[in-house]
Amino acid sequence: MVKVVLFLFLGLSVVSSFVVLTLTVPKLTVIRFTFDPRADVDLCIPTHYRPYSWVCWLPFIILESTFFFLALGKGINLWLAKDEPKPRLLVILLRDSTLAFGGVVVLFIPNLVLWVLARQTVRSMLIGTVPTVQSVIGSRILLNIYETTESKNCSPSLDDINVSIGPTILPS
């Protein structure tokens, strides 16, 4: 059931992002810079944003905030379960995923506000921060998982594998 819900969210996110971005994509204007007569640099800069172009942030905010609340709810349920032991790996996964999804939502909201209130020339100023923070947080999650599994010796090593050559004698 969980996989169905996740694939449903992924599908809705992709479809809604595609529809919203195709409706709100601005025209790209090519600007030629000549620093040196031998080398011209062409840059594509978005101009002529549509008035409703801020809508492109809504699918991302809805998806990331849904994941944030799902991870937060699971973390609260784990924290309230006093009788059951709490696996360290699960605690780290819930902590880091809650911080990751919450951090991304916190970054998406200023982008949305900037796209609603700012002039066209500064609208795309914060866009690069989102993938940067997502990659850093994702790397931290993977490093924390690796550190936890290494400290618990969860991964098998070659010393744990017993290989014997010869006839196998079964007890009768």
Pairing of strands 27-36, 39-47: antiparallel
> Contact 89/142 with Cβ under 8 angstroms?
no
pTM above 0.95, yes or no: no
Average pLDDT for 92-107: 88
Apex CA 9: angle with CA 25 and CA 99, to 5°?
90
Apex CA 17: angle with CA 64 and CA 29, to 5°?
120
pLDDT digits (tens, 9 = 90+) for 53-81: 777 778 888 888 888 998 898 888 888 88
The residue ranking higher by pLDDT, 98 or 32, is 98
What does pLDDT average to over the chain? 75
Average pLDDT for 121-137: 79
> Contact 107/126 with Cβ under 8 angstroms?
yes
The two three-digit tokens of residue 45, written as one number = 């800069």
Domain assignments of the chain as residue spans, ordered by start: 2-25+54-154
The two three-digit tokens of residue 26, written as one number = 């601005």
Pick from 98, 24, 102, 26: nearest CA to 58: 24
Using CA atoms, how far apart are residues 21 and 17, in angstroms rounded to an integer? 6
Other CB atoms within 10 Å distance of the CB of residue 16: 17
Query: What pLDDT score does 118 carry?
Result: 76
